[in-house]
Amino acid sequence: MDAFTRLTGSALVLPQKNIDTDQIIPARFLTATSFDGLADGAFADWRFNADGSEKPDCVLNEARGKTSPILVAGRNFGCGSSREHAPRALLAYGFRVVISSEIADIFRNNSQNVGLLPIVLPEDQHARLLDMDGRDLTIDLENTVVFDADGNKYPFEIDGFARYCLLNGMDRLDFLLAETANIQAYEAQHER
């Protein structure tokens, strides 16, 4: 997992509310035994017609839809089933950050575990970012602030452990493995 400290990039706005994990990656893409190739399934029903051709009116098929690292989505993003594939599909597609006024708890936890930064902002701040489609935003995880191109600041909160892991490019298993010596020392001190 790549460390996340600071990112500047254009925002792609999907203002729809209640984008669930089945819209993010339809269930038919969950049969793979690895996470390779999940970018193909990201928003597949939004991006492709039944014959496999691209839908020309889908912003995700535009060049900027394929290169924007920051997704600003409508309220209640990531609801639905708890599939870990959803944040992994967004990462594979190129997103590193999702911003909304509400992000489902399981999706948020899964995102933090795989390196996708979920940011929840108050409704009024989120509404301002929904009007910034295509504009650059800067995400500063060390200081937990989003900056827009006009210099406005949007502070956000994140769980301290999740922040530590994202800043250091490690998931929970990586963290445990890095603490092996400390765990063994603790176990040795507490043997019966």
The pLDDT value recorded for residue 166 is 96
Report the pLDDT value the prediction gives residue 35, as an integer from 0 to 100.
83
Q: In the prediction, which pLDDT does 83 show?
A: 85
Long-range contacts of 23-31 (CB under 8 A, 24+ apart): 23/80, 24/78, 24/86, 24/89, 24/90, 25/83, 25/85, 25/86, 25/89, 27/81, 27/83, 29/85, 29/89, 30/83, 30/85
Over its length of 192 residues, how does the chain's per-residue pLDDT go in tens digits?
899 999 999 999 999 999 999 999 999 988 877 788 889 999 999 999 999 999 999 999 999 999 999 999 999 999 998 888 999 999 999 999 999 999 999 999 999 999 999 999 999 999 999 999 999 999 999 999 999 999 999 999 999 999 999 999 999 899 999 999 999 999 999 987
Whole-number pLDDT of residue 82: 84
This prediction has a pTM of 0.92
> Homologous superfamily of 6-189 in CATH?
Aconitase, domain 4 (3.20.19.10)
The predicted pLDDT at position 118 comes to: 98
Using CA of residue 147, residue 151, residue 155, residue 161, what is the dihedral sign? positive
Q: How far apart are CA 164 and CA 171, in angstroms?
A: 10
Domain boundaries, the chain: 6-189
pLDDT, residue 192, reads 73
The pLDDT value given to residue 81: 86
